[in-house]
Amino acid sequence: MAGTMEIQERSAAVQQPVRRRDEREGPPPKLAAVPPLGTRLWRAARLRCPVCGSRGLLEGWMKLKPRCPTCGLRVNRGEHDFFLGAMMFNIALAEGTLALILVGLLIALWPDVPWTALEIGAPVLMIVAPFLFYPFSQTMWLAFDLLLHPLTEEELDWHRSSEEGAMRRSDL
């Protein structure tokens, strides 16, 4: 019984009520001019900045520049764990694409499916695909994250003026 009460106390301490914005806090933050999701995803698929559409986000295939050279948006949005969402996108893109290719091959080659070639080729592609999709997953996650956490003028100003190692959000 004591264990159950301890768990309930811990979960009560973790759960925090949703805080509604009080009108006395002033006007809501002004959102930055960001294109619609479809435009952002199209730009991200072409390895461009989802906000301004400029090129130059890639420093190398496996490394993105810390911020957009044109609008100043930080690729990690100032969060130390921002890459976790990009990893999820990478796995979903790579493995989803491989699944579609496998189903397409099975349908196209049925009944003479080269099973030996698939047994060798599929694992190799499963290893290689995440590396091929890595920069796309980074830019796609950035485009999608702007839907979840809209960019405000204040945040964009912070992106432009902050030092490289600075983090915007705390671990609370």
Query: Is 73 within the bounds of a domain?
Result: yes
Can you tell me the distance from the alpha carbon of 110 to that of 42, in angstroms, rounded to the nearest whole number?
Answer: 34
Q: 10 Å Cβ neighbour count for 167?
A: 15
Specify the pLDDT at position 135: 93
- Residue 104 in any domain: the answer is yes
Structural domain count of the chain: 1
What is residue 1's predicted lDDT score, i.e. its pLDDT?
Answer: 52
What is the pLDDT, as a whole number, of residue 46? 95
Question: What does the pLDDT look like over 135-168, one tens digit per residue?
Answer: 999 999 999 999 888 888 888 888 788 777 777 6
Q: Does residue 97 lie in a domain region?
A: yes
Per-residue confidence (pLDDT) for residue 25, from 0 to 100: 67
Within a domain: 170? no
Q: What is the pLDDT of residues 69-106, one digit of tens each?
A: 998 888 888 787 888 889 988 999 899 999 999 999 99
What pLDDT, on a 0 to 100 scale, did the predictor assign at position 90?
Answer: 93
* Least confident interval from 106-115, 126-135, 158-167: 158-167
- The answer to whether 169 and 76 are in contact (CB under 8 A) is no
* Per-residue 3-state assignment (H helix, E strand, C coil) for the chain: CHHHHHHHHHHHHHCCCCCCCCHHHCCCCCECCCCCHHHHHHHHHCCCCCCCCCCCCEEECCEECCECCCCCCECCCCCCCCHHHHHHHHHHHHHHHHHHHHHHHHHHHCCCCCHHHHHHHHHHHHHHHHHHHHHHHHHHHHHHHHHHCCCEHHHHHHHHHCCCCCCCCCCC
The whole-model pTM stands at 0.73
Range of the domain at 50: 31-161
**What pLDDT does residue 103 have?**
93
Residue 3 is predicted with a pLDDT of: 54
Q: What is the pLDDT of residues 7-54, one digit of tens each?
A: 555 444 444 444 555 556 667 778 788 899 999 999 999 999 999 999
The answer to whether residue 16 sits within a structural domain is: no
Query: Dihedral of CA 147/153/154/157: which sign?
Result: positive
User: Is 94 a domain residue?
Assistant: yes
